[in-house]
Structure 1
C-alpha cells in the first residue's frame, strides 16, 4: 500500500501539470513521510542527469569514475561493507566467490585500468589481497568514495513512463526502504553470485558444495574429492586440493577443454596479441599460432599429459588458464589428479562416469558456473534467454533503454578493458553524445551476435555472454559514433577510430 503511494508521488512530482500545482513544503513533508529522497527527486524534476550505479566491484568502480570525470551526478549502492566485489574474501554481501589462494588469471600488464597502472612491485599475477588494494587506491585516486552507500540493497528498479526510473533501496542494517528517482541506471552487480548446480542422477551420501562457497582446502584434507567443471575455478580448486592433503582428487569435465599456460617462453601468454592483430588477422590464423606456441612451451600436447585435447579450436570456448596453485597438466601426469569425463549417476558414495568407470568419493565440489540474474529488474527483461544474450553489445536491453549493463561478459582476455569500453559507450548514451538505434535495429544487432556465437563458440550455457576480446572492444568503440555524424562524416569518424584502436587506444 505504501509502495503504491510512493510510486504515485514520484511520478506526480516529476510530471506535475500546470492545472494541479502543489505546495512545495507539502510535497517535501509528504516525501519525508514516505521515505523519498527529495534531493534525487528534485534534481531529476529540473531535468538534470542523475545516475544510479548498482554494485562497486571493478565494474561499478569504472562506472563511478567515468561519471565523476564527466561531471554527471550519481549515487552508487553496494550490498557489502566495502568496495571490491569478487576480490573481497568473505565479503558480507554474500556475492563473492573469493578463496584464500585466489589470484588473477591474466597478467597485470593487461589486467589494469588504462589510466591507473598497477604498482610495479606487484607480482605479474596478483593475489586477491593486492587486487583489492589496487581497487581501493583507484577509488581514492579519483575521489568518488563519498558517492558510495554501503550495506544497501537495491530492491527494485521500476521504469516510469516519461520520468526515468524509480529505484527502491533497503538499508541492510536498519531495514529502512528509501525511494529515489534516476534518469539512468547502471547495473554493475556482476553475474558470478547465483550458483548454477548440475543435475544429480541418483543419491549421493557424501557432502556436496559449490565452488562459490570454497575458501580453502582444509575441510577436504584426507578425503576423496570429486571436482566437477573444467573452467578456471574447477582446475584451480582441483590443483590446490591435490597439493594440500586430499586423499584423492578427481576432475570431471563434460567436454574436453584447452588449458592455456600463464607463461610462454618467459613472458605472460596474454600480451602477445596486440589490438591490430586481434582485429585484422583471420581468427583461425591467430588460433593456430597461439596453439603452436603453447605446444612448444610445454613440450607437447595436452594429451601427452593425460588430458584429452578438444576437437574445437583454441578460441571456441572461454579459456581455462593453468591454475595458480600448480601445473594441472603435471599433476595429471603424476597421477595426483585423475581426469574423468561427465557423470552418469551417483549411488551412495560411488560415482559412475560416462566412460563406464566408477570412483568412491567423500565430497563433491561443483565448479559449474553461475546463473546470469538481475532480480531487481522486470522479469520480462532477462540478461539471457535460452542460452543467448538479450543485450545489444552486451550493454543495452531493447526493452530497457536507459539501463546499462557493465561486466555481463565472458571474453578471451581481461575484464577491466572490456568494462572500460562498455562504460565509455554507456556514458556517451547517457549524455546524449550517441544515441540508440530503433528497437527493430537493436533486435537485428542482437541476432547477429547470436549468429556469430553459434558459428564461433561451443554451444554451452556459460557462453551466452561470450565475446572475442579485441573484436568486442572495437565493436563497442564503433558503437560510440556521435549522433550528429552522417554519411561521409560517419565513415571518416569510424576510419579514424579504427586506426586509433589499432594503435592501442582501446578505450
Structure 2
C-alpha cells in the first residue's frame, strides 16, 4: 500500500528489501506503523535484479521473515523469482506502509525536537519526513566495487558488472573471463558453462573455501548457526581439520586449497562458497581457474603469472560495499569499510533513534539474521517510544 507522506512519523525505514520489510512487520506487530521508503518502484528491487539462476543458499524453513513463512510451494531452495513473490506477499500480508519511487538522499539530526521527532529524512523529490526513529536497511551489498585495473579504459572486449548479469545465454559460443571467487562469481561461471560458453575462465586471487550446500542431508547453514558465537580462532582450527574431508581438492585443476581461515574471512564479510555446480564444472574442465587479473592491454587480459587471455567478455564479480557515506557518513556512525559500528538492537553510537540492520554477512544465513534483528529493533524501539 502506498503512502504519500507529509507528516511526522514514529519510525521511517529506509529500504524496502527483506531487512526493511521485516522491521516494519515486527514493529506493526507491536502497534507501531512504520513508513518504509525506497528509491525503487517495487519492493525487493535487489532480488529482482539478481541473475536468473540464483536460489537461496539457505533452506526455506530457516529463511522466512517475522510473521509470515515462505510458502511450501516455493520448494526447499527458493528461486530468485519466488523470493520476489514472497516479499510482495509479505508486504501485503503485513499491510506495510510504503513510499516507493523516491530515494532517500540524506538523514540528519534535528537541532530541536518537533513533537518528539529527532531526525529529518531528506528525499530526492525535495520533500522531508521527520521521524523519532530511523532504521537504515539499504543492504550490505548495495554498491558494486568497480575495477581499477591498469589499461581498463582501452579494453576492447565487453565488460559486465555482476549486478547487470542475468543469464549466460547471450555468451553461448563465446569466451568469457569471470573475475571473483565468491558465491556470485562462481555461480555465474557455472551458469556461463551450462549456457554454452565456449571457454569460461575463473580468475582466482584468493582461493575460496567451498562447502556442499548439504552434507548427509543437513544444510550447511546448520553448522553456521552452531558456530556463530564461537571464537574465530577456534572455528578456524576446527574448520582447518575438517577441510581435508569436507572441502573438495581442486589443486590438479588449477584451484589451490584455501587457508585455515574460514571464519576469520567471514568476519571480514567473505562467506564460504556453496557448491551449486562449480566443483563439477571445474573438474570437467568447463570452468578453468586462472591467476588473478593484473591489467588490460587492448583486447588482452594480463594475469599475475604473465599469462594473456583474449576473452570476448569479462564479468566482474569482485563484491559490493554498503555505500552509506552520502546517507549517514556525516553522522560519525560508520567504521571500517564504511559499515555501521552498531547494528540490530544497539542504536548508533551518539545517535539515539538511529538503527541499522543487514550490514553484516553472517555465516548463519542473511535472512535468518535479518529476522532476528528485526524483532530486536522492534522491541528496542517500542521500549523507547
Tell me, in whole angstroms, the C-alpha distance in 1 between the residues paired with 2:161 and 2:77.
25
Offset at residue 125 of structure 1 (A): 1.5
Please, which moves more after superposition, 226-235 or 194-203? Answer: 194-203
Offset at residue 124 of structure 1 (A): 2.0
Whether 1:79 aligns to 2:68 is no
1:92-115 alpha-carbon deviations (Å, 9 max, x no partner):
xxxxx4122221122223222354
Tell me, in whole angstroms, the C-alpha distance in 2 between the residues paired with 1:404 and 1:137.
25
SS state of the match for residue 109, structure 1? helix
User: Which of 316, 319, 328 is the equivalent residue of 2:264?
Assistant: 316
2:18 alignment partner in structure 1: 58
Tell me, in whole angstroms, the C-alpha distance in 2 between the residues paired with 1:345 and 1:113.
43
Offset at residue 62 of structure 1 (A): 0.7
1:269-315 alpha-carbon deviations (Å, 9 max, x no partner):
2224554x644x665565565566665467x5243554211223222
Tell me, in whole angstroms, the C-alpha distance in 1 between the residues paired with 2:142 and 2:66.
27
1:397 alignment partner in structure 2: 348
1:462 alignment partner in structure 2: none
SS state of the match for residue 236, structure 1? helix
Aligned ranges 1:376-415 → 2 under 5 Å: 377-381=327-331, 384-385=334-335, 387=337, 389-393=339-343, 396-415=347-366
- TM-score of the aligned structures, taking structure 2 as reference length: 0.86
Offset at residue 237 of structure 1 (A): 0.6
Whether the 8 Å contact between 1:260 and 1:321 is mirrored in structure 2 is yes
Whether 1:169 aligns to 2:123 is yes
Offset at residue 433 of structure 1 (A): 5.4
Tell me, in whole angstroms, the C-alpha distance in 2 between the residues paired with 1:165 and 1:388.
21
Q: Tell me the C-alpha RMSD between the 2 structures.
A: 2.8
Whether 1:185 aligns to 2:145 is no
1:431-481 alpha-carbon deviations (Å, 9 max, x no partner):
3359xxxxxxxxxxxxxxxxxxxxxxxxxxxxxxxxxxxxxxxxxxxxxxx
SS state of the match for residue 387, structure 1? helix
User: Which of 190, 213, 216 is the equivalent residue of 2:167?
Assistant: 216
Structure 1 residues 168 and 86, CA gap change in structure 2 (3 angstroms): same
1:349 alignment partner in structure 2: 299
SS state of the match for residue 80, structure 1? coil
Whether the 8 Å contact between 1:261 and 1:294 is mirrored in structure 2 is no
Structure 1 residues 337 and 148, CA gap change in structure 2 (3 angstroms): same
User: Which of 192, 203, 222 is the equivalent residue of 1:252?
Assistant: 203
Greater C-alpha Rg: 1
SS state of the match for residue 373, structure 1? coil
User: Which of 64, 70, 78 is the equivalent residue of 2:30?
Assistant: 70
User: Greater strand share, 1 or 2?
Assistant: 2
Please, which moves more after superposition, 104-113 or 243-252? Answer: 104-113
Tell me, in whole angstroms, the C-alpha distance in 2 between the residues paired with 1:200 and 1:380.
30
Offset at residue 162 of structure 1 (A): 2.9
- Count of residue pairs the alignment pairs up: 371
1:365-399 alpha-carbon deviations (Å, 9 max, x no partner):
11011222125534424765553644124764325
Offset at residue 184 of structure 1 (A): 1.0
Aligned ranges 1:458-469 → 2 under 5 Å: none
Structure 1 residues 270 and 86, CA gap change in structure 2 (3 angstroms): same
Aligned ranges 1:244-283 → 2 under 5 Å: 244-272=195-223, 275=226, 278-279=228-229, 283=232
Whether 1:232 aligns to 2:183 is yes
1:366 alignment partner in structure 2: 316
Tell me, in whole angstroms, the C-alpha distance in 1 between the residues paired with 2:320 and 2:137.
16
Offset at residue 152 of structure 1 (A): 2.0
Structure 1 residues 168 and 114, CA gap change in structure 2 (3 angstroms): closer
Please, which moves more after superposition, 186-195 or 222-231? Answer: 186-195
SS state of the match for residue 260, structure 1? strand
- Higher RCO (C-alpha under 8 Å, 6+ residues apart): 2
Offset at residue 331 of structure 1 (A): 1.3
Tell me, in whole angstroms, the C-alpha distance in 2 between the residues paired with 1:274 and 1:189.
24
2:75 alignment partner in structure 1: 123
Whether the 8 Å contact between 1:373 and 1:383 is mirrored in structure 2 is no
Structure 2: runs of 5+ lacking an equivalent: none
Whether 1:303 aligns to 2:251 is yes
SS state of the match for residue 398, structure 1? coil
Structure 1: runs of 5+ lacking an equivalent: 1-35, 42-48, 89-96, 171-175, 435-507
Offset at residue 119 of structure 1 (A): 2.6
- TM-score of the aligned structures, taking structure 1 as reference length: 0.67
Tell me, in whole angstroms, the C-alpha distance in 1 between the residues paired with 2:72 and 2:242.
27
